[in-house]
Chains A and B, each alone.
Chain A
């Protein structure tokens, strides 16, 4: 006994510093994101760590195959779920964990669990209690990456630090503005609607015929009026919807937005409504409901409500402004071309309309035609 211990001692003393980094200590990886009602994300746990805890190698051949893991997934999920608890001041959060399959980390395969924590009351501050594997591996760590308002914060659970309180930090104003900009620029339906409104802005309708607008100033004023009408309209419904005063089902809103684009494009082909403004305002109301859906995902509650609403709207307007500035010079240059009123405008409007038609069918009937 003494001999091997003595050998072990020097092995550790002299060799360990060079070898301690060999392999990898036991870690689980928790990636959680703040939602309006709690937390959700993924939890990766090493198969090697689960083996002594729940027994995965059913045939004892020293290997874990997918069949063996699959058979034990309910046990694995229950084992993990019982070792992660969350609560708010109002009580315990409801935890649901489901398997997403496996994922590779540098030291082998991990089971990937989808985690959804549904919390009562104000989910602003959530206490997480982590109690996985410390009884079997005292140096086990739970590496948590917590994302709140797009900002990631790292935390580490350990044997002596099993509770971590995640406080909701009000997002920076810039981040909300950014979200608004991003939403308008990546939400093609709003851009397409705006395009449909702007296409005829460099022309004037006189005696049923399109004429080039006389100068840049009139074009600019006209566009300004249209965009302002759109902005007022969607800000209004965004506020109403974000405050939960008016709530519309999202499938209806999304379908109606597609329909609004069709109407705007049709109005270019067969001008019925003379003023773009009324069109921009009326249909703009619908788009506000669409924006509200994005804000709902962020979790718009508490005292920062107005600030968030304002910041997001500002971002949307900035993004919109960028599109207008990008589009206007091109259209202005095209305006004198004889082909623009006869070919350019109708063709562009038809193209916009076709895309919107596809969206309408997709959204109304919950299909996938174009990705």
Chain B
């Protein structure tokens, strides 16, 4: 009796506690996690921003002050856009793409702008992953000016990214005599590497690289492709030697850094990846590879880099951008152990671009998600194009099991 009564009292006391907890939940449930707040710097000397070296373009200032709709001649517009594209190439900073587009002014929106504008517009669209729009610009440019080796080379490249190798090969054949022999060789080798003749492509390209008086950037670019071909063929030490030699000549070559990091990640040489990329946090694609290595090493900086990447993908989503789907799929798969979202992103990405990395992430995600039936289209693409790659071959075999 006494015990029963005490229990009843305890129960009565439990009611207010429960209600208090509920009240707290209602009140707290509304407050969102605190985000960064604006602040007033303490000292005038506090550095807020370090501007990239390509600062203060004269044209930007005059454009900022120009009356809207002021007339612009083609030569000026094209020169400004080329300048911005050079900056883009040097820095991989997408702001320069937006500036290049702005530099073209009213010409950008013309259905049939002058030929040089078409070529530049195609290049900007291509960099924004609008490959089909870029292709139609280049088709038009080549109608207006069939001998434009640049437009032809660009079109071969877009076709390659889209996986339309026959069309790409035709454009490469047409290039002979219109541009430097090394470019023709690279054009062919890039296609050969993904259509079953990587070995021949590599030896052709090596021969082309022996030509005298090549510019250092050209050599870096061609040798990166050689490294990539060696990777495909499974010759890791040759690949590593090529990438290292590229980085010795062109220390800022982000593409070679990314390719070498991928090679090392496959070989589980994680600490070498960290020392290669530890200062490359500004570039998402490299930060992603750094974070993958750090995660495997259980490194302290992994959490920070994971958060950074998450924030950058969120920012991209906010602006409605889908340029990062390949990286985001890899981020989901390798850093968040989320094969389902990774597969979805990878398949969306595959509809837009079909390079080896795009194929690989789709197959890896399907394997991790145990959904081989979702990548039937990818597998038939691999088969039909005779895509050669040590990693891809392994993945295809595992998916078939």
Binding site for B on A (CB under 8 A): 2-27, 29, 42, 44, 47-49, 51-55, 57, 60, 62-67, 69-70, 100-106, 108-109, 112, 134-141, 143, 150, 154, 156, 158, 178, 181-182, 185-186, 319, 322-323, 325-327, 329-330, 332-333
**A-contact bits for B376-398, CB 8 A (1 contact / 0 none):** 00000000000000000000000
Beyond A65-B45, A67-B44, A102-B40, list 14 extra A-B contacts (CB 8 Å): A2-B150, A5-B82, A6-B153, A9-B153, A10-B187, A14-B225, A17-B358, A51-B55, A55-B61, A102-B38, A104-B36, A136-B63, A139-B95, A325-B19
Judging by beta carbons under 8 Å apart, are A17 and B286 in contact? no
Residue in contact with B94 in the complex, picked from A4, A139, A158, CB distance below 8 Å: A139
Q: Which of A20, A67, A109 has the most CB of B within 10 A?
A: A20
B47 within 8 A of A: yes
23 A-B interface contacts by CB (under 8 A): A5-B150, A8-B89, A19-B254, A20-B324, A21-B285, A22-B282, A23-B92, A23-B283, A25-B98, A47-B49, A48-B51, A51-B51, A52-B61, A64-B47, A64-B48, A64-B49, A66-B46, A101-B38, A136-B60, A138-B102, A141-B320, A182-B27, A319-B23
Judging by beta carbons under 8 Å apart, are B39 and A63 in contact? no
CB distance from A238 to the nearest CB of B (A): 20
CB distance from B153 to the nearest CB of A (A): 5
Chain A residues contacting B153 (CB-CB under 8 Å) are: 6, 9-10
CB distance from A26 to the nearest CB of B (A): 5
CA–CA, A176 to B180, complex, Å?
Answer: 71
B154 within 8 A of A: yes
How many chain B residues touch the partner (CB < 8 A)?
Answer: 102
Judging by beta carbons under 8 Å apart, are A57 and B56 in contact? yes
Q: With A106-B308, A156-B318 in contact, is A135–B63 under 8 Å at CB?
A: yes
Judging by beta carbons under 8 Å apart, are B93 and A22 in contact? yes
CA–CA, A54 to B56, complex, Å?
Answer: 10
Q: With A3-B215, A7-B218, A22-B283 in contact, is A14–B157 under 8 Å at CB?
A: yes
Stretch with Cβ within 8 A of A (4 or more), from B121-129, B237-245, B364-372 = B121-129
CA–CA, A66 to B40, complex, Å?
Answer: 9
Stretch with Cβ within 8 A of A (4 or more), from B10-18, B199-207, B290-298 = B10-18
B284 within 8 A of A: yes
Judging by beta carbons under 8 Å apart, are A21 and B318 in contact? no
Judging by beta carbons under 8 Å apart, are B254 and A15 in contact? yes
CB distance from A42 to the nearest CB of B (A): 7
Residue of B nearest to A27 (CB): B319
Chain A residues contacting B353 (CB-CB under 8 Å) are: 17
Residue in contact with B56 in the complex, picked from A60, A141, A322, CB distance below 8 Å: A60
Stretch with Cβ within 8 A of A (4 or more), from B270-278, B309-317, B336-344 = B309-317
Chain A residues contacting B51 (CB-CB under 8 Å) are: 48, 51, 57, 62-64
Judging by beta carbons under 8 Å apart, are B89 and A13 in contact? no
Residue in contact with B284 in the complex, picked from A13, A21, A333, CB distance below 8 Å: A21
Judging by beta carbons under 8 Å apart, are B285 and A102 in contact? no
B248 within 8 A of A: no
B227 within 8 A of A: no
Judging by beta carbons under 8 Å apart, are B27 and A135 in contact? no
Q: With A7-B218, A57-B55, A109-B48 in contact, is A18–B41 under 8 Å at CB?
A: no
Judging by beta carbons under 8 Å apart, are B180 and A6 in contact? yes
CA–CA, A29 to B38, complex, Å?
Answer: 13
Chain B residues contacting A42 (CB-CB under 8 Å) are: 38
Residue of B nearest to A105 (CB): B315
Chain A residues contacting B55 (CB-CB under 8 Å) are: 51, 57, 62
Q: Which of B12, B50, B319 has the most CB of A within 10 A?
A: B319
CA–CA, A109 to B312, complex, Å?
Answer: 15
Judging by beta carbons under 8 Å apart, are A27 and B315 in contact? yes
Q: With A22-B254, A182-B30 in contact, is A13–B158 under 8 Å at CB?
A: yes
Chain A residues contacting B183 (CB-CB under 8 Å) are: 6, 10
Judging by beta carbons under 8 Å apart, are B126 and A12 in contact? yes
Judging by beta carbons under 8 Å apart, are A2 and B217 in contact? no
CB distance from A86 to the nearest CB of B (A): 20
Q: With A10-B153, A19-B283, A143-B318 in contact, is A24–B312 under 8 Å at CB?
A: yes
Q: With A103-B37, A141-B320, A329-B13 in contact, is A9–B308 under 8 Å at CB?
A: no
Q: With A9-B157, A19-B92, A104-B36 in contact, is A139–B44 under 8 Å at CB?
A: no
CA–CA, A215 to B389, complex, Å?
Answer: 85
Residue of B nearest to A319 (CB): B23
Chain B residues contacting A327 (CB-CB under 8 Å) are: 16
Judging by beta carbons under 8 Å apart, are A25 and B94 in contact? yes
Residue in contact with B318 in the complex, picked from A2, A53, A66, A154, CB distance below 8 Å: A154
CA–CA, A54 to B284, complex, Å?
Answer: 29
B329 within 8 A of A: no
Judging by beta carbons under 8 Å apart, are A11 and B89 in contact? yes
CA–CA, A154 to B316, complex, Å?
Answer: 13
Judging by beta carbons under 8 Å apart, are B99 and A8 in contact? no
Judging by beta carbons under 8 Å apart, are B98 and A101 in contact? no
CA–CA, A154 to B317, complex, Å?
Answer: 11
CA–CA, A13 to B9, complex, Å?
Answer: 76
CB distance from B73 to the nearest CB of A (A): 17
Residue in contact with B150 in the complex, picked from A6, A65, A104, A326, CB distance below 8 Å: A6
CA–CA, A250 to B46, complex, Å?
Answer: 42
CA–CA, A12 to B221, complex, Å?
Answer: 11
B108 within 8 A of A: yes
